[in-house]
Structure 1
Amino acid sequence: RVVAGRLLPSADAADAQELLRSVARTAPDDRLLARDVDRFPRRRRPATVLLPPKPRETEWTPILAYQIQLPGDILWETASARRDLLYVAGFGKGGAVLARSPWSETVQTLTWMPAFNYPHILEPGLDATRPVLFAGSPGPRLELMTFPRNDAIPHVTPAGTPPWFPDEVLGAAVADLGTVWVVREHLDRLVAWAYTQQGAISAIYPLPQLEEALPDGDSLRSFAPIPSVAQRLNLFAALGPRLARLGRDGAVATVDLPSNITALSASTLPDRSMVAAAFEAGGAVIFDGPDLSNVRRFAEDLSEPLLTFTRDGTLIAAGEKEARVFDTSEGRVYERAVFPVLGGRPVAAVPGPKPNEFALVMPGGEVRVYRIPRK
């Protein structure tokens, strides 16, 4: 009994029951002992479950500034933002849909037939006077249509697939000064084409360094749309785990990351060139340098994050139930805040109209614009 008394306080439930039965067998006719043995399990305090601490609200914790509601009968798929305009693409019963808004309840939509689903390339021009590149990847061409001017947006903006845009495009991005980068398969090779805003070819560069990352037996088309993003005059494109940077002069630098790259996002800060790559779990920030060697992992426990940079360089990674805020100063990535995401997994994350804002586009067409107070 003395030994059992020493062991019981630290024993788990199963061991405690065995110890109690052993004690009871020492005096089977002792009714008081039997009563105490019976009562002991009910008197034991349940084990304390230590829940992980809730993220502390800090000056980095985003606040919901306002919301915009897009039409709710559309299956929204992707979004992009350029300065004062938000563009969101999806599918409805009528066909492919593109909406634009000046970050207000004023929403315009265009619809293209036919009504079947395929991945989209959505690359707005540098401002409202430039055409919006909207095309399948690879998929049918979308005829040029026009957003009319209104009181909120005093510009007529063409949108769709321009006549000069090639077929079977695997990826595309619009760079500074309006250069349109196009990644496509040409003569069984992966090639990047640079077009002017008017559609003239200004350069053609093979990408064997990126094509080498294609797994044996796979086709380039199976990776469409290839993650592509422009930063300044450079094109960043990814295939599998390999990221390639193609300069306007044709110089190529590559880096192999720990996982296959599912999406890319580029910072617009002139003094902090960096690209964020999303993986199936977490992601990495690649700080732009001669050899792309400064790579910083983040959020490795966040499944399939959507990434965007605010216009002041803060990185946002949004998952199904939570999103995280990262400070990217000093060539590193620091997690500064975590906040809940309610209503399901967002379909897109984009920079907001102000430097300290970003937006999450929800499946039902709700656009939540957040503001980071410290900025």
Structure 2
Amino acid sequence: MSSSKTSHFLPLPPLSLRTPPPPYRRPTIISTYSHQPDRSIRHDDSSMAYYRPAPIGCDLNHGFDRRTERNESVDEHLDGLCDALRKVEEESGKGERKGGIITWRGMITRIMTAPYEDREGWEMTAIALDGSVYVELHDPPDVRAKRRKQQSTWAWQTYMGYSFESFSTQFLVPEQENEDWPTGWGGDVNTNVQWCNVVRSAIGDIPLCLGGEVDCVRAEPGTPHPGLEKCVELKTNRVIENEKQEFIFHKKLLKHWAQSWLLGIPEIEVGFRDDSGILRNQRAFETEKIPRFIASVPSAHPPWTPGPCLHFLHAVLNLVLTHILPTDPCLRYPPDSIRRGEQSPLPPATMWRFSFIPRRGCELYEVGQMGVDDTGRWGGVLKEDYVRWRMSR
């Protein structure tokens, strides 16, 4: 969607930039919640899985025909994250720090890795409410349909990642085993099931509240949540057989590092499979050591360094906050004006978009104002009852 309003453009930093970047504060966990097999949410750790090494030689094709896939046409927006924040504040009185960003870990990952992304652009929607800016991917139905069509050609490779997770985890209440289950199989894949952590952090002086899925924890089955320091991320990769494949893997480590580092996950377990889907070996990476590992790889030009990523992240978020926070309707409408009744109309949200143009930078522009749409979402993003709760406190 284009806009005739003023836009603000932020160029990419030079990849040779060596100025120390803004520090990233170590994340602290503030809440967890679990998506159940039917995609419903429970505010507990019932979907938390426990790590166990996948058996070398296991077949990652197993169970492909029995998989259950989440309905990607249903747009959940930021609902799970917002519901978790509301529950935390209502039960403990503690909320996120004001003046920052509330979003999924995946959104921040996209911004962080943008300096090294030369093919795929993206666009995000942002709105201000109660002293924070909420950010989500702008993902209209036509774009989503095109992506699903593209992803269908990679369904097998995507499935092997989920299969590796099943071979690498077990739940407190395991599925009833079937006689055809191979050794180590943790249960048929259902991508509805997710365990999400909500953390508080900051990049420089910018507060962040992030929600993201965590694959498993390294602890004895039955142990309560052992903390972020015991969380593990699981990834798969083709067996590396030549220098080109090694270079590609080193580039992929940027996203792996960013995803885990942002959420405070200290360990990434990578399973290497052959073209037939057989797991050949595994390797553990300590998240905080990955940039040093990349820097040590013999090469005239390392595939990436974290400096430009962190500089760009801080610059983009600063641009977003500078222009969007002043459009927060809570600055103009007193809480009493919302408390008068559920039927009173909400003040409109000022919608903004910021888009990434590969190899160029990021553009921010105002889209316009929107109240509650036909789906009951304020600004097309947040649920009406959540907004009323925020504005009436």
**Same fold? TM cut 0.5:** no
| TM-score class, shorter | under 0.3
Q: Highest relative contact order (Cα 8 Å, sep 6+), 1 or 2?
A: 2
TM-score, length-scaled by structure 1: 0.24
TM-score, length-scaled by structure 2: 0.24
Relative to its length, the structure with more helix (as a share) is 2
